[in-house]
């Protein structure tokens, strides 16, 4: 029986085969559909793993190849399509996406802010880890890239923890890498050290405690940005490592991408909540000015 795709303009349904043209149409629709129609399209794409990979990669490559001037930062259809494509490729563990994703993440910070938004802070680390090829040089290169958007750099740090949670690397691998990064990024004026501190605490700070305290006492941690206090750090250090690691392994934020539909619904809910909050703040400011 042919798959069905809902037409977002008419609400009707039409047959969807697995031919090249139909696959391209399905991928293009991922940026235009909403609600249950989008959920259905994503499930169809999941069922076509393998045959749909090429057009999904084509979307990612097209976005990465465009210059900053060519990218339309107001195009919400392209933005949504990119998010869904990345979730699908991550769910497929499609390693062919990794190098192109690194290229995309290396774009100007303003471009990244528009393309990813909340997606970047919530899921980019999981996506990077889910399509990881084993090239730690490129992953670490994003962390070191001082021109990259901060949450791209944070996500690259977080990807190490996702890889550890999924037994690709060991905890000692992370400790060694983070120790080197604390030294390499000592004079970095961004909030990247905050990310190193947070993720170090999540896997227990025992071996990295000297580096964390040194950065904290030297004033290289943004205290307004990071709510972790010195007391919090000391408290985490006193906890048993086994307890911390059990808690770490239970945190969904370090799981691979598995269910794009559920993750996208969560993201959309967070976006609506954030927009409502911002609108309320603007209303309050307007009333206060009267």
Residue-wise pLDDT tens digits, 45-72: 999 999 999 999 999 999 999 998 888 8
**CB within 8 Å of 204: residues ≥ 6 apart:** 236, 237, 239, 241, 244, 245
Residue 276's pLDDT band, with cuts at 50, 70 and 90, is low
107: left (phi over 0), alpha (psi -120 to 50) or beta: beta
Instruction: Name residue 14's beta-bridge partners.
Output: 5
pTM for the model stands at 0.86
The percent of residues in the chain predicted with pLDDT above 70, rounded, is 85
User: Encoding tokens for residue 263?
Assistant: 């993750």
10 contacts 29 by C-beta, under 8 angstroms: no
The per-residue pLDDT for 15 is 43
Question: d(Cα 104, Cα 53) in Å, to the nearest integer?
Answer: 18
Burial of 181 (0-12, 13-18, 19+ CB in 10 A): buried
Mean pLDDT calculated for residue range 186-192: 90
pLDDT for 287 beyond 80: no
Q: How many helices (H) and strands (E) does the chain have?
A: 15, 2
Q: In this predicted structure, which of 6-20, 99-113, 124-138, 234-248 has the lowest mean pLDDT?
A: 6-20
140 contacts 174 by C-beta, under 8 angstroms: no
Residue 226's pLDDT band, with cuts at 50, 70 and 90, is low
R_g over Cα of the chain: 21
Q: In whole angstroms, how far apart are CA 113 and each of 64, 77, 277?
A: 15, 16, 19
**CB within 8 Å of 232: residues ≥ 6 apart:** 201
pLDDT digits (tens, 9 = 90+) for 110-123: 899 999 989 999 99
């Amino acid at each position: 029986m042919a798959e069905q795709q809902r037409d977002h303009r008419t609400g009707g349904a039409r047959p969807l085969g697995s031919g090249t043209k139909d696959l391209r149409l399905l991928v293009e629709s991922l940026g235009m559909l909403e609600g249950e129609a989008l959920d259905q399209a994503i499930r169809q794409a999941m069922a076509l793993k393998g045959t749909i990979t090429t057009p999904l990669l084509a979307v990612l490559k097209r976005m990465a190849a465009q210059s900053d001037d060519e990218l339309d930062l107001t195009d919400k259809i392209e933005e949504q399509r990119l998010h869904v494509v990345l979730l699908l490729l991550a769910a497929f563990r499609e390693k062919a996406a990794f190098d192109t994703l690194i290229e995309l993440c290396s774009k100007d910070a303003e471009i990244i802010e528009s393309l990813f938004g909340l997606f970047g802070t919530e899921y980019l680390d999981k996506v990077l880890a889910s399509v990881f090829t084993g090239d730690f040089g490129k992953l670490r290169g994003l962390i070191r890239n001082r021109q990259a958007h901060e949450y791209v750099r944070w996500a690259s740090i977080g990807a190490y923890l996702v890889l550890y949670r999924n037994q690709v690397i060991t905890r000692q691998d992370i400790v060694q890498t983070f120790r080197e990064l604390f030294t390499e990024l000592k004079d970095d004026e961004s909030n990247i050290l905050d990310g190193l501190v947070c993720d170090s605490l999540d896997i227990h700070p025992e071996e990295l405690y000297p580096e964390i305290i040194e950065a904290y006492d030297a004033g290289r941690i943004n205290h307004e940005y990071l709510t972790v206090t010195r007391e919090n750090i000391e408290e985490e250090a006193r906890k048993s490592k086994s307890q911390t690691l059990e808690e770490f392994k239970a945190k969904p934020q370090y799981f691979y991408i598995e269910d794009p539909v559920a993750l996208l619904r969560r993201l959309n809910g967070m976006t609506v909540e954030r927009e409502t909050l911002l609108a309320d703040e603007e209303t309050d400011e307007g009333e206060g000015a009267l």
